[in-house]
Amino acid sequence: MLMRQPFVMRLARLHSGFGWAVVLLLAAFALVVVPLLNQFLTPDSALYIPDWLVTLTGRFLCLALVALALDLIWGYTGILSLGHGAFFALGGYVMGMHLTHNRMEAGTIPNFIQFLGRDDWPWFWVPFQSFWFTAVMVFLVPGALALVFGFFAFRSRVRGVYFAIITQALTFASMLFFYRTETGFGGNTGLTDFRELLGFSVREADTRLVLFMLSAVAVLLSYLLCRYIVTSKLGRVLVAIRDAESRVRFTGYNPLRYKLFVWTVSAMLCGLAGALYVPQTGVINPGEMAPANSIEMAVWVALGGRGTLVGALVGAGTVNGLKTWITAAYPDLWLFVLGGLFIAVTLFLPKGVMGLREQITGRSKQ
Amino acid sequence: MRGLSWKGAILWGLLMVPAVVVANTDDMSADERAEKLAEQQKNQTQTRTEGLSGEAASIVERLATDDWQAINDVVEDLEALAAPETLPVLQALSDRRLYFDERGRVLIEDPATGEYSDALTGETAEVSPENLSQPTLTNAIRRGIRPLIGQLQLFSDDVATRRAGAEELADRPRPEMLGRLQELRAEESNPEVLRLLNIAIARLQLDASDPEERLEAVEVIAEVRSARMKSELETLMETDAQGDPVEPDAAVREAARDALEVIEARQRTARFLGDLVYGLSMGSVLLLAALGLAIIFGLMRVINMAHGELLMIGAYTTFMVQNLFAVMAPQWFSFYLLAAIPAAFVVTALVGILMERGVIRFLYARPLETLLATWGISLILMQTTRVIFGAQNVRVASPEWFSGSVQLMQGVSLSTSRVGVIAFAFFVVALVWFVMNRTRLGLEVRAVMQNREMAAALGVSANRVDMWTFGAGAGVAGLGGVALSQIVNVGPELGQNYIVDSFMVVVLGGVGNILGSVFSALGLGVFSKFLEPVAGAVLAKILLFVAIIVFIQWRPQGIFALKGRAGDDD
Amino acid sequence: MKTRGSIRKTGLACLALGGLLASGVAQSEDDPIKVGILHSLSGTMAISETSLRDVALMTIEDINEQGGLLGRELEPVVKDPASDWPRYAEQARELIERDEVDVIFGAWTSVSRESVLPVLEELNGLMFYPVQYEGEESSRHIFYTGAAPNQQTLPAVDYLMSERGGGAEQFYLVGTDYVFPRTTNRIVRAYLNANGIEDDAIREEYFPFEHSDFQSLVSDIKRFSQSGQTAVINTINGDSNVAFYQELANQGVDSVDVPVMATSVGEEELRGMDAGPLVGHLAAWNYFMSVDSPENEAFTERWAEYVEENDLSGGSDRVTNDPMEATHIGIRMWAQAVLEAGTSDPDAVRQAVPGQCVDAPSGYEICMDEENHHLHKPVLIGEIQPDGQFATVWETDGPIRAEPWSKHLEGSEDKKADWTYPWVCGDCEEPRYDLEL
Amino acid sequence: MSMVDTLRELGKRDEVFPFLQQAAPSPALDTRHGPILYVEGVTKSFDGFRALDDLTLYIDDGELRCLIGPNGAGKTTLMDVLTGKTRPDTGQAWFGQRLNLLELPEHVIAQSGIGRKFQKPTVFEQLTVFENLELAMHASRGLWTSLRWRLDGEQQDRIDEVLALISLTEQAYAPAGVLSHGQKQWLEIGSLLMQNPRLLLVDEPVAGMTGQETEKTAELLTSLAGKHSVVVVEHDMDFVRSIARTVSVLHQGSVLAEGSMDEIQSDARVREVYLGE
């Protein structure tokens, strides 16, 4: 029957020796080399990594984390979510609320709360003064929304296209909800003007570097977690659900539980990404929940290759890198490029960049 | 289950009946008549005086100033004078067509010819426009001028003019005019003008010292049942500091109370009907926006995220047709909208066919990927529009026959364009229904959508049918765009606002069921308008989304589920 | 104060000359002075902001044609934050760190400004913000060339309450749901209360951006207006205005009975609309394209010429408006300050901008306040005309001083915006540029 | 029942409420009375079409039963009802004495011991043949156990055994999607075996198989009977004849005749409706 095995053993089996070498090398690069190059080289050195690049990469890492989360649910389980922007933003808002507390002098409240006609913090703001409460909520808030929404959606067997459309409605409705000033989260402006986190100034380059490293650690750990999930039997059940859900049911598995589990994990990872993203960006507002953002997330995964965790990371990096470059260099072209990318990937790269090799060799075989 | 949905259908049908009935009350026809009269009156505005007599001239002369107090004084003096010959001057002043030059001459511009005439003599004057100034005009001054114009119009021989004047006075009676109005009433023969004059006089007589007169006034007002006079009646019901009623006469109070009740009941009805009609109007907009999608998504199962952009292209085609008419056939300009309908259909259908041939046909087996590809198309279409037409909105003017409004009852009016949109929505639905159920194409479409292999075996080219269906769906979206161009702004992002709503309509109505989309669109519109006063516009919308998500729990297949043995399996 | 101003003015010409001479010697590098332009060219804000980019480029071109500044060309660096607020911050950072611009002209919405502000503070940047805004902010790093609430909305309220403006006793405040209308209306409400108009005679309603269905709102305005002389203060932003005014016209709400005073409807917005339903309603600004002054004539003619030369979309329909004028003023003031300081270094220019004056298109000499980083501006109230222009119906006697912190708001009344040397911002750097040169 | 009684009823410590029963259905399977499957008076209509019409059917424990009938006779619908996919309008369906099939969700029915092979072979195409079998293996279906699951040697052997039985040992690590139609049929049967159900519902197992494969399938199915109960739906009359002991003929949603193949073939009504005579 079920064999108990040491966790470390199981972990070691996630990758081949070569695989682990690559993972550790990348981790070392992000956690040791980048900080060194940033801290100890002068700007005129060719290898110097400027502060802005560190922050930019830190943000990309957060977005890569979102791609990872989306891949788990879409790539492996076959459930396309167009609402992950909502979970990302919720994580961001949770962190933003804590940062807003930090920026206000004692006894003062931000203007958007004054708009509500009150002169103290509403109850749902109060506990976010505590960092640890916030840290827990970063996972719990998106997780809870995902759990409730997922339970109802999966229970009534909404899936495929319908599920995609309903998640889109979810993020759209959340966006409208957060846009309202009456909701009490800063309305259209959102939360901004952050200053301190745990006593460190979020505007300092050094803090930014630490945030970058934290993001790298988050991506690494999340990657391992996802890898752990998808290489387990649970992962195979997920793939089975993607291929033939009713067969899974007739085999005796309850897909509801599996889907709900992976859906909630995915939402929590998004929340974490949002929470790390916000102090590096300095603002969170309902625009993050715009349906377009969530759809763009899908293209990160599609470009990289669905059903491969590395693909999701590669895709997020590529698209966001392109975006940064093109919106600066040829602003008018960006939407053409992005649109073209959507079409090209779906038509010519159904398995994404990671499937390219397979696609080529597969073709030559035939 | 099936029975339930038909019950639902009947319920919606019943809800819509009162709206149609209201549209036929004679309230409307009376007001329409009024509007026509007002129109005629406008056209008959005199654009120059016939020369002013001494006293009038000496007052009008003083208009050559930009001191607003002085102008106010002039208006007051003209009121005291009450000389009909000054009417053109007052109208010119109110419409900003009155000028004075450096020599202090007061001039009136004829908007049709661009000529100027001297207000005092009525003769055409040679002036250079750069030397002209305008007397200061504010809304406060206009508020004085309007009743004066109304009063002067009552001296006219023309019934329409008198009617316009009486209408103005019934709206804004001035206490100083009471005596003169009573004189005029004695001479008036036209019943409509007489009725309006009675209202004006009644409103002034609420303060009369004779309780008989007050009672009579309240009765007249009660008959009009206008909400405008509610506050005046309410004053009668007030009590002073000692708790004594302001109105000493009990009979008057009684009459006022009755009148108030009538007015309030009417207001409640108006509010209910207003919500219903506005809801239908919003629903028909949703319907037009979603109908194309109901075909493309509903029948073909293609998740067309570029649907919003098809709407946008329809709207821009309307814009182009408008410009074409302005340049090529200005005399037919007011009919450009009619020409825009087929044009928009053809243009968007072509774009749709291009999309289908170029991208979508390769993706029929992969629905989620069509979603991504069409989203890509939508970005490209949007940016292309931006490059061609600029990021700014373009101006699509409503033709004259399409602007203005229709009053359904007092307090409930709907703009002509919205009425038009409702009618257009039903026209398009009928058209789609006809094509789908009464034509060979419709038959083939239904055959292919139900069983592709079987249809192919029967000699129907599924490939070709896909193309035409997509084209037709896109074309219908284009028609939606024409309608939207008349009520919202036309810009590159036009479609983005409708995409989520459209999908909700189709999903709620039941995918594959066009009738379902009709009911869900109208239902959503009405529901949200009833919710709006309670919850506010945004919360109403959020609640609606939540309701839809919950509803889909209960009936995943939408209102009109297509049930069959071929269930939901993958 | 006065003497110092005049000394400055006389000195200015010499300085300009001196600067030109000095540039040959001290500024051996002919590197252009880089100027960042941060306006959205795509997304929802593109409608408003594209024109600001255009007018900024035009003004820079004009300066270059006259030989640039200090012998150096101005090189505009244009970014497109695509109406995405975090992108404003991101690109502001790129402008300062990577492109090394000395000044940024940009932002429109308060959100975008607030999102850029931390970057400016962190990197000691300098920005000119050209749009009317809600106040309640003051920064060493921003010069506000648009109006503060007391330079736009409060005079408009005064006007509406005055006999001349119609003697409004009740106010209906309608706005888009974001910080500018919310804050403005808070100030307006406090102001109205102070002027004897109680809360039950004030109604407030907000709508999201892009909202286009105002049928219910207008019926409510109609009902409300039956209990007294009512005016509407409209802080709705952008597209929604068309639908709003259209609905007012449909339901027969007349500007004579219920005047609507807009704070965000200008010539550029009217260009995209059918102005018909708006005619007779009011707007409060600091500049109208229809202003009759030689400066404005020059400004509008140059604009038309620029549009034609560069074949800008919209062509001969393009108009000028208040934020464009504010951008234009901002760039010219900055240029004068550079000449006066003899360098484009932000720290120096920051000290040289206060007190600068420009003969603005609005027909007034507009000066930057010595203390609060805001302009002294005249307030104009205009009536919308069928051609989409404004007829001025009232204006202030002259430019009025901005109150960035409203004295009508609790908590703000004691705050001061004072950026004179020694700066009251705590640990600022030492001034590198001595004003008493 | 009065309120008090209801409360008292609820208060009983040893009362097992229906919703609690569902949680652990497997031990409840009770076949002491003979039949493992009771289907009584089941009716199901789709939009007016009666797919099942007052159908009654009993299957004994360990029996191998063939269901035949023309298209639309209700064979597949019956399977759908038994596996919880479709809920009938009226009637009863019990698995053993205790398990009400009409109240349990699909996965619970499967866990309690009813396995189903679909008409169209459905395997998990992206998983390997081995993984397909592993997933089907009779074991806990819990979320957490599957997260920490690892095969032990015995289970490994069992999979190898089945692989050999269905002749897919060579393809064990190939994705199931690349298998031929017949192989997929075999894999699905193999998965059924791994599930080790008490009752197998097998829908057209030999469609698309070669003669040799068909023979082998027949062999396999007959060997299963006894330990398991097997219900086979098939069109291939030769195949039915080769395995059948008892045959039920379905027509227009109800059982037309029941008996051995010879009895059926001689039944006049059956000849009329089914054999087309």
Q: Which CATH number is C20's domain given?
A: 3.40.50.2300
| DSSP secondary structure, B225-264, as one string | T-GGGHHHHHHHH-B-TTS-BSS--HHHHHHHHHHHHHHH
Answer yes or no: do A111 and C136 touch at CB < 8 A: yes
Both ends of chain C: CA-CA distance in Å? 16
Is the pLDDT at C304 greater than 70? The verdict is yes
Is the pLDDT at B4 greater than 80? The verdict is no
Domains of chain D: 35-273 (3.40.50.300)
At residue B381, the pLDDT reads: 93
Interface list for chain A against chain D, based on CB atoms closer than 8 Å: 1-3, 5, 10, 229, 232-234, 236-237, 239-240, 242-244, 246-255, 257-258, 261, 307
Domain final residue, candidates C350, C376, C402: C376
Answer yes or no: do B359 and A343 touch at CB < 8 A: yes
Same domain, C21 and C66: yes
List the single residue in D85, D152, D195 with the smallest CB-CB distance to A251. D195
Between residues B563 and B154, the one the model is more confident about: B154
Q: A with B: 3 or more CB pairs under 8 Å? A: yes
Q: How far apart are CA B314 and CA B473, in angstroms?
A: 12
**What tens digit of pLDDT does each residue of A61-101 get?**
999 999 999 999 998 988 889 989 999 999 999 999 999 99
Residue of D nearest to B561 (CA): D47
Is the pLDDT at B20 greater than 50? The verdict is no
Answer yes or no: do B565 and D85 touch at CB < 8 A: no
Percent of chain B as helix, strand, coil, to the nearest 5:
70, 5, 25
At residue D276, the pLDDT reads: 57
Is residue B570 included in any domain, yes or no? no
Answer yes or no: do D141 and A244 touch at CB < 8 A: no
At residue D8, the pLDDT reads: 56
Chain A residues in contact with C136 (beta carbon < 8 A): 111
Q: Is the dihedral of CA C337, C342, C346, C348 positive or negative?
A: negative
Q: How confident is the model at residue C275 (pLDDT cuts 50, 70, 90)?
A: confident
For helices D181-195 and D153-165, what crossing angle results, to 10°?
140
Q: Which residue has the tokens 């590669």?
A: A314
Q: Which residue has the tokens 């002075």?
A: C33
Among A14, A233, A262, which would you mutate to test the D interface (most chain D Cβ atoms within 10 Å of its Cβ)? A233
Residue of B nearest to C210 (CA): B497
Distance from the Cα of B264 to chain C's closest Cα (Å) equals 12
- Select from A242, A365, A357 the least CA-distant residue to D126: A242
> What is the greatest pairwise CA distance in chain A?
72
In the stretch 319-378 of chain B, residues with CB closer than 8 A to chain A read: 359, 362-363, 366-373, 375-378
List the single residue in B227, B393, B415 with the smallest CB-CB distance to C47. B393
Chain D residues in contact with B563 (beta carbon < 8 A): 46-47
Q: Which residue has the tokens 């004006």?
A: B200
Is the pLDDT at C19 greater than 60? The verdict is no
Same domain, C159 and C235: yes
Among A2, A10, A227, A308, which would you mutate to test the D interface (most chain D Cβ atoms within 10 Å of its Cβ)? A2
Is the pLDDT at B427 greater than 70? The verdict is yes
A80 interface with B at CB cutoff 8 Å = yes
Same domain, A101 and A207: yes
Is residue A297 included in any domain, yes or no? no
Are residues B490 and B396 in contact, defined by beta-carbon separation less than 8 angstroms?
A: yes
**What tens digit of pLDDT does each residue of C167-186 get?**
889 999 999 888 888 889 98
At residue A91, the pLDDT reads: 95
Same domain, B288 and B426: yes
Is residue A123 included in any domain, yes or no? yes
Between residues A246 and B39, the one the model is more confident about: A246
Answer yes or no: do A193 and C118 touch at CB < 8 A: yes
**Other C-beta atoms lying within 10 Å of the C-beta of residue A295:** 24
Q: How confident is the model at residue A5 (pLDDT cuts 50, 70, 90)?
A: low
Residue of C nearest to B489 (CA): C239
Is the pLDDT at C375 greater than 90? The verdict is yes
Question: Strands D35-46, D90-95: parallel, antiparallel or unpaired by DSSP?
Answer: antiparallel
Answer yes or no: do A328 and C91 touch at CB < 8 A: yes
At residue B143, the pLDDT reads: 82
List the single residue in B369, B499, B542 with the smallest CB-CB distance to A346. B369
At residue B10, the pLDDT reads: 43
Same domain, C161 and C55: no
In the stretch 378-407 of chain C, residues with CB closer than 8 A to chain A read: none
List the single residue in C80, C115, C118 with the smallest CB-CB distance to A331. C80
3-state secondary structure of B377: helix
- Quote the domain boundaries for residue B467: 273-554
Q: What does the buried/exposed string (b/e) look like for A335-358 if buried means 16 or more CB atoms within 10 Å of the residue's CB?
A: bbbbbebbbebbeebebbbbbeee
Structure tokens at B338: 């009619």
- Select from C218, C201, C203 the least CA-distant residue to C167: C201
Same domain, A223 and A92: yes
Domains identified in chain B, total number: 2
Check residue B62 and give left, alpha or beta (phi > 0: left; psi -120 to 50: alpha). alpha
Residue B155 CA from chain centroid, whole number: 34
Check residue A78 and give left, alpha or beta (phi > 0: left; psi -120 to 50: alpha). left
- Quote the domain boundaries for residue C250: 153-262
**What tens digit of pLDDT does each residue of B500-539 get?**
888 888 888 877 778 888 888 998 888 888 888 777 778 8
Is the pLDDT at A140 greater than 90? The verdict is yes
- A358-366 mean pLDDT: 58
Chain B residues in contact with C252 (beta carbon < 8 A): 405, 413
Q: How confident is the model at residue C142 (pLDDT cuts 50, 70, 90)?
A: very high
CA angle D176, D178, D179 (to 5 degrees): 70
At residue B550, the pLDDT reads: 79
Residue of C nearest to A188 (CA): C178
Q: What does the buried/exposed string (b/e) look like for A256-276 if buried means 16 or more CB atoms within 10 Å of the residue's CB?
A: bbbbbbbbbbbbbbbbbbbbb
At residue C147, the pLDDT reads: 92
At residue D152, the pLDDT reads: 78
Domain final residue, candidates A290, A318, A348: A290
Is residue A85 included in any domain, yes or no? yes
Same domain, B372 and B425: yes
Q: How confident is the model at residue A222 (pLDDT cuts 50, 70, 90)?
A: very high
Is residue B559 included in any domain, yes or no? no
Domain final residue, candidates A253, A272, A290: A290
Question: Strands A191-192, A283-284: parallel, antiparallel or unpaired by DSSP?
Answer: antiparallel
Compute CA distances B353 → A344, B348, B480, C183, whole Å. 19, 8, 17, 50
Chain B residues in contact with C255 (beta carbon < 8 A): 139
Q: How far apart are CA C113 and CA C180, in angstroms?
A: 12
Q: Report the C-alpha dihedral over residues B404, B409, B410, B415, rounded to 10 degrees.
A: -20
Q: How confident is the model at residue C262 (pLDDT cuts 50, 70, 90)?
A: very high
Answer yes or no: do C243 and B487 touch at CB < 8 A: yes
At residue D20, the pLDDT reads: 39
Q: How far apart are CA B73 and CA B141, in angstroms?
A: 10
Spell out where C264-317 has E strands. 282-285
D141 interface with A at CB cutoff 8 Å = yes
Answer yes or no: do D86 and B563 touch at CB < 8 A: no
List the single residue in B274, B390, B404 with the smallest CB-CB distance to C219. B274
pLDDT in tens, chain D (277 residues): 455 555 555 555 444 444 434 344 444 566 666 678 888 888 888 777 778 888 888 888 888 888 887 777 788 888 888 888 888 888 888 888 778 888 888 888 888 888 888 877 788 888 888 888 888 877 777 777 777 777 777 888 888 888 888 888 888 888 888 888 888 888 888 888 888 888 888 888 777 777 787 888 888 888 877 778 888 888 777 788 888 778 888 888 888 888 888 887 787 777 777 655 4
Same domain, B249 and B330: no
At residue C300, the pLDDT reads: 94
Is the pLDDT at C334 greater than 90? The verdict is yes
pTM for this predicted structure:
0.81
Q: C with D: 3 or more CB pairs under 8 Å? A: no
Answer yes or no: do D85 and B567 touch at CB < 8 A: yes
List the single residue in B271, B282, B390 with the smallest CB-CB distance to C213. B282
Same domain, C180 and C252: yes
CATH number of the domain to which B464 belongs? 1.10.3470
**Average pLDDT value over all residues in chain A:** 85
Q: How confident is the model at residue C272 (pLDDT cuts 50, 70, 90)?
A: low
C224 interface with B at CB cutoff 8 Å = no
Chain A residues in contact with D147 (beta carbon < 8 A): 229, 232-234
Are residues C54 and C312 in contact, defined by beta-carbon separation less than 8 angstroms?
A: yes
Structure tokens at C60: 């820079």
Between residues D270 and A309, the one the model is more confident about: A309
Range of lowest pLDDT (A163-167, C24-28, C43-47): C24-28
- Partners of chain D (3+ Cβ pairs below 8 A): A, B
Is residue A101 included in any domain, yes or no? yes
The amino acid that residue A104 corresponds to is M
**What tens digit of pLDDT does each residue of B85-117 get?**
888 888 888 887 888 888 888 888 887 777 888
Same domain, A92 and A193: yes
Among C158, C160, C219, C241, which would you mutate to test the B interface (most chain B Cβ atoms within 10 Å of its Cβ)? C219
- B298-321 mean pLDDT: 89
Burial of A300 (0-12, 13-18, 19+ CB in 10 A): buried
Domains identified in chain A, total number: 2
Same domain, A146 and A33: no
Is residue C419 included in any domain, yes or no? no
In the stretch 93-132 of chain C, residues with CB closer than 8 A to chain A read: 93-94, 97-98, 110-111, 114-115, 117-119, 121-122
Q: What does the buried/exposed string (b/e) look like for C154-191 if buried means 16 or more CB atoms within 10 Å of the residue's CB?
A: bbbbbbbbeebbbebebbbbbbbbbbbbbbbbbbbbbb
ipTM over 0.95: no
Are residues A324 and A56 in contact, defined by beta-carbon separation less than 8 angstroms?
A: yes
A200 interface with C at CB cutoff 8 Å = no
- Quote the domain boundaries for residue A37: 18-49
- C292-310 mean pLDDT: 92
Same domain, B279 and B319: yes
Answer yes or no: do C119 and A282 touch at CB < 8 A: yes
Q: How far apart are CA B254 and CA B243, in angstroms?
A: 17
Distance from the Cα of C105 to chain B's closest Cα (Å) equals 20
Between residues C435 and D108, the one the model is more confident about: D108
Chain A residues in contact with C184 (beta carbon < 8 A): none
Residue of A nearest to D136 (CA): A251
A102 interface with C at CB cutoff 8 Å = no
The amino acid that residue C230 corresponds to is T
Domain final residue, candidates A264, A290, A316: A290
Chain A residues in contact with D105 (beta carbon < 8 A): 249, 254
B568 interface with A at CB cutoff 8 Å = yes
Answer yes or no: do B507 and A332 touch at CB < 8 A: no
Distance from the Cα of B559 to chain C's closest Cα (Å) equals 26
Is residue B8 included in any domain, yes or no? no
Same domain, A37 and A124: no
Domains identified in chain C, total number: 2
Is residue B3 included in any domain, yes or no? no
Same domain, B300 and B344: yes
CA angle C80, C85, C87 (to 5 degrees): 50
Q: How confident is the model at residue B227 (pLDDT cuts 50, 70, 90)?
A: low
- B243-263 mean pLDDT: 78
